[in-house]
Every structure is written in structure tokens, then in C-alpha cells.
A = this chain, B = another copy of it.
Amino acid sequence: MKNSNTENIGLDMYQLCEKLFPICRSITGEGFRRSLNILKNDLELTNLQAFEVPTGTKCFDWEVPKEWNISDAYIIDPNGNRICDFKVSNLHVVGYSTPVDKEISLEDLQEHLYSLPEQPTAIPYITSYYKERWGFCISQIEREKLIAGTYKVYIDSELKDGSLTYGELIIPGETEQEIFISSYLCHPSMANNELSGPVVTLSLAKWLLSLESRKYTYRIIIIPETIGSITYLSRNYKTMKENVVAGFNVSCVGDDRAYSYLPSKEGNTLADTVATHVLKHSHPDFVSYSFLDRQSDERQYCSSGIDLPLCSIMRTKYGCYPEYHTSLDDLTLVTPTGLFGAYKVLKRSIECLEANETLCTTVLCEPQLGKRGLYPTISTKESSSIVKNMMNFLVYCDGNHTNLEIAEKINAPLWELEEVISNLKAADLLRVVV
């Protein structure tokens, strides 16, 4: 990371997106490995470990598929022009396409083409991981120009026994209790969904590593979506169910248009509490989705029997912006400020989790704060409003409410109570219960 001061974190993240953008990633293969390695090296995350899970490994109801790699693909039209060129955009090839090299008629070719009539300039993002087929994705405009005749279709890909790759970074804390952060890296050249996710996630990891101490242990993973989370859970869910106190699925965190929240299955976990607390106080116009709107790895993390306390904080949510899953989701959509906005909300959420504890007053009734310099010594019409947050915070310090719950009750952001809490602790008026 070139820039180390805070103001440049957004730009650093953006430049990392630029570097990763051209690589053709999928749920397995060299593109994923190479991207993971760039992230590890550029962010200096020495302890980020890559795991390889062999093709055929059983993972609950699934098994790890064959590894897919591709080096080239195109179509030659009847006039000899090269179209749908993989080297121009890796979105032109249906993900996991089998190899092909033959001549076919336009009519037969049409069966293998995918386009979006309502978004005529966009190349759609299409995959077929679990049924073998080949296909090309093309803009509707280009498709309509195709003339009758014979086309040569060429895909130089390979499906073979290999392995699924994922990255895991464990950052130890004072306790075994874990904060879990997951993002995915399996999408080819798209920017909000999904280069923003792993870039923001691992930039947060870098910040976490820079802290002097952490209450929680952090379990941070970069996986392929769906099969990756299922694979990871099949190997780790018992420990995670025991230790994870809050988690975030980090996806679509790069544009500038909105802040979004998608709850956990239960909707009232610690992750939900902290996410809505931070969003409400920092971006009160944030969009709140239903758990029923989930389409990412919450599907696995919150599935029946797994039920981790995990929610999603996003900028504009997958499926809710027109460029989603097309070639239009590019580096003009994602911005340094977009990335940095998401980074700040996630960082603040983590800070709130770290600051969260249960306090109890050490004296009965209100303490005499005036003699400690914490209360106006002169009583006027306004004197009590000056210290309102402090008095409201104190009254709920009964050992039954966490700081975060109190902040919610008294409608004050936890980070604005920091000084109050610190003063009251310094005066021995509060003791930590949990």
C-alpha cells in the first residue's frame, strides 16, 4: 500500500481494484490464486494463508468442482472479424465454459449467446458451474448486427481435477471470541460486485493488525462465493458456532450512491445491533433490506443449523443497481470515496464492538460529579442539559445493559460517549461487569 495516512486509504483501495480488475477470476483456477496473492503482497498481510481444497472433496451436500482455467476465447464472424474476444473482456465467455473449436451456423450459435435486451450496451455476467456447457456473452447491440453465415467459435479452456482456493487470516485478540469477516473474489472483471469486497476487507485487516491490542480474535476469509463459504463452513463451523460473536459479509462496498444493511436471519444479533447503530448515526438515510432479500454468502452463514450472527453492510446492494452483473459494473462505478465510506462504517462498527462492555456504577444514586469537575458548579436553567448524555448513560449502567444497548436507549452514538465513559472510569465511578 503506497499511502499510509488515512486520507489516502480510499485512493489506495481504488488503485488495488485497478490492478486486480483485468484478471479473469472464477470460483477456482489461477485467476483467483493470482488475485489473492496480489492482495496479500500489496497489503503486506504476511499471515494471510492460502488453502487448496481438492476437486471432489465433500462439503455438506456439495462437492468441490473441477478446476477451471481459460487462456483464450473468441468468435470469428462470416466476414472474418474477431468478436466476443476474451482478451477484450473476460465477461465475453460464460464462466466454466467447456473448450470448443468448431464452425457453426448463426442459428446454432444463437443457442450459445447471452445478451440483455433491456441493457443493449452491456455484456452480461453468466456462469454455469455445475452443468457443462459453453457460451458467449455479448451486448444486445452487437448481437443484432450478426449476419447469417458460418461462425468459428473458439474457447481454449480446461476443466480438470485441481482445487478450490481460499484465503484465511486469523488475527489473534485477548479472547477466543471472534469477529468473522467474509468476502469473495470469484467474479471476473467487475468492480462493485466484486472487487470492492476483498479490497475493503483486507484493508480493514491491515488496520486491525496495526492496533496495539484487540479484545476479539478476527477471522477474515476471502473465498469464492457459495461453494467457498460452504467449503469453509464444512471445515470450520463447529469452532465458529462456538466463538463467533458477530460477523459481516462484505460485498458491494465500492460505489457512492447508498449505504445498505441486510440483517441476519434473527435480525437482532450483536452484528445487527452494531451495524444499525453505526449506520443510523452516521448515514441516517441508509437503506434497510429484509433478510428475505439476501443473495450472497449470508445464504450459507445464516442457513438453518449454521445460524451465525452475521449481517451485511453495503454501499448499493447487489441486484439493486442497473450495472449489477454486467460489464457496466466497472471502475467508473467504484470510487475512492465510495470504498472509503464503506471502510469507515465497517471500521467504526468494529470499534464499537471493541468498545462494547457492560458497566455498573460503583455508587448508589447519582454520583456527585461536581466535586470531580464533571458537572457545572452553578445551577441554571440549562445546567442539566449540558451533561444530559452523561447522566443518561450513567442511569443505565446497572450491569444489565451493554454500552451499545445504552447508546441505543439514549439515542447517542457510542463514539460520542467515549469521553464520558473514560472520565467516569477515571473517577472510579464505573466498573466493568462483563
A397 on the interface (CB 8 Å rule)? yes
Oligomeric state, in copies: 3
Chain B residues, Cβ within 8 Å of A368: 61-62, 130
A164 on the interface (CB 8 Å rule)? no
Q: Flag if B307 contacts A379 (CB, 8 Å).
A: no
A124–B377 Cα distance when bound, in Å, is 16
A395 on the interface (CB 8 Å rule)? yes
Q: Flag if B410 contacts A237 (CB, 8 Å).
A: no
A360–B367 Cα distance when bound, in Å, is 46
A302 on the interface (CB 8 Å rule)? yes
Q: Flag if A366 contacts B303 (CB, 8 Å).
A: yes
Q: A60-B364, A304-B395 are in contact. Are A378 and B295 (CB under 8 A)?
A: no
Chain B, residue nearest A292 (CB):
B392
A299 on the interface (CB 8 Å rule)? yes
Q: Flag if B360 contacts A126 (CB, 8 Å).
A: no
Chain B, residue nearest A128 (CB):
B378
Chain B, residue nearest A410 (CB):
B292
Q: Flag if B325 contacts A381 (CB, 8 Å).
A: yes
Chain B residues, Cβ within 8 Å of A230: 365-366
Segment 325-360 of A: residues with Cβ below 8 Å from B? 325-326, 360
A384 on the interface (CB 8 Å rule)? yes
A371 on the interface (CB 8 Å rule)? yes
Q: A61-B368, A371-B130, A380-B114 are in contact. Are A304 and B397 (CB under 8 A)?
A: yes
Chain B, residue nearest A131 (CB):
B377
Number of interface residues of A (CB under 8 A): 66
Among candidates B95, B131, B237, B396, residue contacting A364 with C-beta atoms closer than 8 Å: B237
Q: Flag if B303 contacts A364 (CB, 8 Å).
A: yes
Q: Flag if B365 contacts A131 (CB, 8 Å).
A: no
Q: Flag if B360 contacts A304 (CB, 8 Å).
A: yes
Q: Flag if A61 contacts B381 (CB, 8 Å).
A: no
Interface string of A206-227 (1 = CB under 8 A from B): 0000000000000000000010
Segment 269-318 of A: residues with Cβ below 8 Å from B? 291-292, 295, 299-300, 302-307
A128–B94 Cα distance when bound, in Å, is 78
Q: Flag if B378 contacts A131 (CB, 8 Å).
A: yes
Q: Flag if A304 contacts B361 (CB, 8 Å).
A: yes
Q: Flag if B127 contacts A366 (CB, 8 Å).
A: no
Chain B residues, Cβ within 8 Å of A305: 361, 364, 398
Most buried by B among A128, A302, A324: A128
Interface string of A253-273 (1 = CB under 8 A from B): 000000000000100000000
A182–B244 Cα distance when bound, in Å, is 48
Chain B residues, Cβ within 8 Å of A384: 295
Among candidates B95, B303, B395, residue contacting A303 with C-beta atoms closer than 8 Å: B395
Nearest Cβ on chain B to A207's Cβ, whole angstroms: 31
Chain B, residue nearest A367 (CB):
B61
Q: Flag if A365 contacts B397 (CB, 8 Å).
A: no
A363 on the interface (CB 8 Å rule)? yes
Nearest Cβ on chain B to A91's Cβ, whole angstroms: 13
Q: A306-B365, A380-B126 are in contact. Are A292 and B233 (CB under 8 A)?
A: no
A388 on the interface (CB 8 Å rule)? yes
Most buried by B among A292, A304, A306, A366: A304
Q: Flag if A233 contacts B370 (CB, 8 Å).
A: no
A411 on the interface (CB 8 Å rule)? yes
Chain B, residue nearest A375 (CB):
B130
Q: List 14 A-B contacts (CB under 8 A).
A: A60-B363, A60-B365, A62-B365, A114-B380, A291-B395, A299-B366, A304-B361, A304-B394, A304-B396, A305-B361, A306-B365, A307-B398, A319-B381, A326-B381
Closest 4 CB pairs of A and B: A131-B377, A304-B398, A61-B363, A61-B367
